[in-house]
Amino acid sequence: MNSTTVTPSVRTPIPSASKTGLLYDLRTFRWIVNPSSSFGLLLIPIVLHLNWLYLVPLLTGTHTPSPFAPLLFISYPTPSPTGDDVNDPRYRKGWLDLAFVAYYIVVWSFIRQSITIHVCHPLANRYGIRKPGKVSRFGEQGYSLLYWGFFGAWGIRIMGLLPTWWFNTPAFFLDYPHWQMIPELKVYYLLQAAYWVQQLLVLALRLEKPRVDYKELVVHHFVTVWLIGWSYGVNMTLLGNAVYLSMDVPDAFFAFSKLLNYLDFKITKNISFIVFLCVWTYFRHYLNLVMLWSVYTEFETIPDSSKRWVPEEGVWMVWWMKWQMFGPMMMLQILNLFWYYLILRVLYRTITTGDADDVRSDDEGEDDEPNKKEK
């Protein structure tokens, strides 16, 4: 009698209910990298706000300010320095700004993952990139190009509305405190804060595969969030805008150069790398050193009436605040010099081999070749 051996089919295990869904993503912070969960979260305040605006008045017959508005819009309008000029609206800071930042951490999580997964990954596949690690990195740099390109341009526009136009450093300190912010500056500042906190969470919780320079990036993000929080809290947003700008513009050029590298456009990527090197040198080093020198030499130009620690008057500039600004900015410069060294290594390789094979210490994430690529 012949017997037939039946080999059981291998089935992909079905995730348990406890490891799927919005509640699981909330507990594990997976909503940061799961666009469907972050989308559900960002809809909740919108729905509640609209119900408060349109449904509650129908039921109660009264109109009251929506408690959900601070999540969606900036708070604390204040009179302008020139009086109640409707053409010069101003805003001050306040605790509700934390709610705005928290909400837009969710928004950035959704936008980032949606663009990365649904726009950049298909584009990578279309251009012949197949390895999962490279597809993932292509998606990250594609999103970075869009983000830094937009915020770099927006930062330039905002600086053009301020007395600090093109790093007019004395204006960082003259007429301090600068607590009456133009609306664009406040929105820009808080959206950037939300972005950096979101990125820090991704790194700190290891929600994505770490890069080779993971430790340096964690330090960089901590220092950046520290600078953002302090500069906003002590009304040094004019200097903060300049620091943002000096970082954002070269990051856009870096992302573009990386994308060309992934696409293996040899001549174009070499030209792009040289342009990136020049932009990085000017913004990340020359302008950053200009700002460091300004903090070191021009801090004393702050009005004497503001060299006090009186939060209720918006003044915080006691003597040690000079070093509170100088220290973290110098730490950023040291990190930038570390990356600059790696960039110069690539420049040397470009000159000797004619191929800018890599830009900065970025782990390409090759799943099948984890140790072969030189960093």
Instruction: State the pTM of this model.
Output: 0.89
In the chain, the number of structural domains is 2
| Owning domain of residue 166 | 74-353
How many whole angstroms separate alpha carbon 67 and alpha carbon 73?
11
Peptide bond into 35 cis (omega under 30): no
Q: Do the domain assignments include residue 7?
A: no
How many whole angstroms separate alpha carbon 232 and alpha carbon 241?
10
Q: Is 258 exposed, middle or buried (0-12, 13-18, 19+ CB in 10 A)?
A: buried
Kindly report, residue by residue over 196-229, the tens digit of the pLDDT: 999 999 998 887 778 788 888 999 999 999 999 9
How many whole angstroms separate alpha carbon 317 and alpha carbon 302?
8
Q: Are residues 65 and 129 in the same domain?
A: no
Q: Are residues 107 and 39 in the same domain?
A: no
Q: What percent of the chain has pLDDT over 90?
A: 73
Q: How confident is the model at residue 356 (pLDDT cuts 50, 70, 90)?
A: low
Q: What is the dihedral of CA 260, 350, 345, 369, to 10 degrees?
A: 60
DSSP 177-205: ---SB-HHHHHHHHHHHHHHHHHHHHHHT
Rounded to 5 degrees, what are φ and ψ at 90? -135, 160
Instruction: Report which residue type is found at 143.
Output: Y
Q: Are residues 121 and 243 in the same domain?
A: yes
Q: Are residues 193 and 225 in the same domain?
A: yes
Q: Are residues 164 and 46 in the same domain?
A: no
Q: Are residues 262 and 142 in the same domain?
A: yes
Say yes or no to pLDDT of 360 above 50.
Answer: no
Place of tokens 């204040």: 78
Q: Do the domain assignments include residue 51?
A: yes
Q: How confident is the model at residue 244 (pLDDT cuts 50, 70, 90)?
A: very high
Residue 282, pLDDT score: 98
Q: Do the domain assignments include residue 367?
A: no
Kindly report, residue by residue over 149-190, the tens digit of the pLDDT: 999 999 999 999 999 999 999 999 999 999 999 999 999 999
Q: Are residues 37 and 131 in the same domain?
A: no
Q: Are residues 58 and 122 in the same domain?
A: no
Say yes or no to pLDDT of 373 above 90.
Answer: no
DSSP 316-363: ---TTHHHHHHHHHHHHHHHHHHHHHHHHHHHHHHHHHS-----SS--
Q: Are residues 322 and 186 in the same domain?
A: yes
Residue 16, pLDDT score: 46
Q: Which residue has the higher pLDDT, 310 or 371?
A: 310
Q: Do the domain assignments include residue 159?
A: yes
How many whole angstroms separate alpha carbon 30 and alpha carbon 317?
40
Maximum CA pair distance of the chain? Answer: 104
**Cα dihedral sign, 148-150-151-154:** positive
Q: Do the domain assignments include residue 253?
A: yes
Q: Which residue has the higher pLDDT, 84 or 240?
A: 240
Instruction: Count the neighbouring beta carbons within 10 Å of the beta carbon of residue 25.
Output: 20
Q: Do the domain assignments include residue 9?
A: no
Pair of tokens at residue 121: 């990954």
Q: Are residues 93 and 64 in the same domain?
A: no
**Which residues are within 8 A (CB) of 197 and not within 5 positions of it... i.e. 6 or more apart?**
101, 105, 225
Pair of tokens at residue 103: 């909400």
Q: Do the domain assignments include residue 18?
A: no
Q: Are residues 44 and 121 in the same domain?
A: no
> Which residue, among 163, 213, 151, has the nearest Cα to 188 in the 3D structure?
151
Residue 31, pLDDT score: 93
How many whole angstroms separate alpha carbon 200 and alpha carbon 191?
14
Kindly report, residue by residue over 25-79, the tens digit of the pLDDT: 888 889 999 999 999 999 999 999 999 999 999 988 888 999 999 999 999 999 8
Average pLDDT of the residues of the chain: 89
Q: What is the dihedral of CA 98, 103, 107, 112, to 10 degrees?
A: 50
Q: What percent of the chain has pLDDT over 70?
A: 89
Q: Are residues 48 and 194 in the same domain?
A: no
Where a domain ends, among 48, 71, 94? 71
Residue 350, pLDDT score: 83
Q: Do the domain assignments include residue 10?
A: no
Across the chain, the runs of DSSP E, i.e. the strands, are: 77-78, 90-91
Contact 218, 203 (CB under 8 A): yes
Where a domain ends, among 19, 45, 71? 71
